[in-house]
Structure 1
Amino acid sequence: MDTSVQFNGKKALVTGAGKGLGRDLVKVLAKCGAEVCALSKTQADLDSLKEEVPGVRTVCVDISDWKATRKAVQEAGHFDLLINNAAVSFVLPFLEVTEENLSMHLDVNLKAMFNISQVVAKSMIDKGTGGSIVNVSSVASHCALLDHSVYCSIKAAVDMLTKCMCLELGKYKVI
């Protein structure tokens, strides 16, 4: 692994850090010198991550809960880098999607990203430091996939949210 990119002295928040890509991002950022805060809804995943990356800070919260998430992220402090990685995906034909399926996708894949980004961006702006926000999307935002109508449409919304954030936050050096 190339660790020539350094994040010494930078604080990073990674959502969806309990498993998969998010977990790997935490490990890489820590190796590159970042002070990493890992956010997940599963305490057991965070505990095992702490064993692998002893210096990592953790936040356990269900990001589908707007108020609890906002409070937890505010209490976690200031970050120079946010990686919005958390996501859910249910594979269902369009005609079988329920309100519950749609709401879960919206709450986790879009609303939580919006919520967490607002908190982190406000801190970046208030401190005058700027920073970076990375919203993890998918090729599914650009092409229709069978039985993925909800996932594809919400990932397309993530892409547009990212563009709007760049337009509005760029003047504060939040990119």
Structure 2
Amino acid sequence: MQLNFSGLRALVTGAGKGIGRDTVKALHASGARVVAVSRTNADLVSLSKECPGIKPVCVDLGDWEATEKALGGVGPMDLLVNNAAVALMRPFLEVTKEDFDRSFSVNLRAVFQVSQIVARGMINRGVPGSIVNVSSMVAHVPFPSLAAYSSTKGAMTTLTKSMALELGPYKIRVNSVNPMVVLTAMGQKVSADPEFSRKLKERHPLKKFAEVEDVVNSILFLLSDRSASTSGSGILVDAGYLAS
């Protein structure tokens, strides 16, 4: 998808790997000035070499105070992609307080915090904006050993709608993308069981998992003016999984 984001500033969390990394690369290639946020500095170093001119920010978004310090003065933004997440795979009965707290602090609370920082800046400048939350199909369909992760993504569905409702009067649109298994490092961990992976593919009408590029293209569409009347919605990037 060829879109022009020249002159716009974008912030992408979870930028070091997978969907976030490819989103940064696509935005950079389309002319945006990108702030790339990751907790892994080595990933930011290599990404900066691939995309000269991006601004890397290394911070653990699960730490509220550190995030405020790192991003509080990040400057004006026009676009935001909340992609950072952790998927701690544990059977429901084995999920610990630490697992639960870590999942919600990174996957949901950080979306609150970073979106507040960016949206306040948009409102103060009086400019429109677009926010995309990277959710998951497990917001709608449970998978084994993903109770905590699924809960964060289910909550993100309501958060996305709430943000769209309250930020809409300021011309800020908020949407989500909901991929099924995507073969990133995280996705490969979820689908590591060959039998489980086979059953998943059999249910997909398209008999395949989504590619990272498919998700990135949906993110770019929602960030762009081509989705100017879309807010509070979620795009399913699931190869037809929910249709079966």
- TM interval, shorter chain, is over 0.9
Other-structure match for 1:105: 103
Other-structure match for 2:40: 42
Name the count of aligned residue pairs: 173
Amino acid at match of 2:110: A
Q: Is there any run of 5+ residues in structure 2 with no aligned partner, and where? A: 174-244
Other-structure match for 1:54: 52
Amino acid at match of 2:111: M
Amino acid at match of 1:165: M
Q: CA deviation at 1:130?
A: 1.9
Other-structure match for 1:117: 115
Q: CA deviation at 1:19?
A: 0.7
Q: Quick one: percent identity of the two aligned structures?
A: 53
Alpha-carbon distance in 2 for matches of 1:157, 1:25: 23
Q: Residue 12 of structure 2 aligns to a residue in which SS?
A: strand
Q: CA deviation at 1:18?
A: 0.6
Alpha-carbon distance in 2 for matches of 1:60, 1:75: 14
Q: Residue 76 of structure 1 aligns to a residue in which SS?
A: coil
Q: Decide which of 74, 77, 85 is 1:76's aligned counterpart.
A: 74
For the pair shown, which has the larger CA radius of gyration, 1 or 2?
Answer: 2
Other-structure match for 1:64: 62
The root-mean-square deviation of aligned C-alpha atoms, in Å, is 0.7
Other-structure match for 1:172: 170
Q: Residue 86 of structure 1 aligns to a residue in which SS?
A: coil
Other-structure match for 1:85: 83
Alpha-carbon distance in 2 for matches of 1:14, 1:73: 12
Q: Residue 50 of structure 1 aligns to a residue in which SS?
A: helix
Q: Decide which of 116, 137, 140 is 1:139's aligned counterpart.
A: 137
Amino acid at match of 2:150: C
Conserved 8 A contact 1:83-1:134? yes
Alpha-carbon distance in 2 for matches of 1:8, 1:54: 15
Q: Residue 160 of structure 1 aligns to a residue in which SS?
A: helix
Q: CA deviation at 1:75?
A: 1.6
Q: Which runs of 4+ in 1 moved over 3 A?
A: none
Q: CA deviation at 1:71?
A: 2.2
Q: Residue 24 of structure 1 aligns to a residue in which SS?
A: helix
Conserved 8 A contact 1:10-1:79? yes
Amino acid at match of 1:76: V
- Normalising by structure 1, we get a TM-score of 0.97
- Normalising by structure 2, we get a TM-score of 0.70
Alpha-carbon distance in 2 for matches of 1:57, 1:49: 10
Q: Is there any run of 5+ residues in structure 1 with no aligned partner, and where? A: none
Amino acid at match of 1:93: P
Other-structure match for 1:9: 7
Q: Residue 10 of structure 2 aligns to a residue in which SS?
A: strand
Conserved 8 A contact 1:59-1:76? no
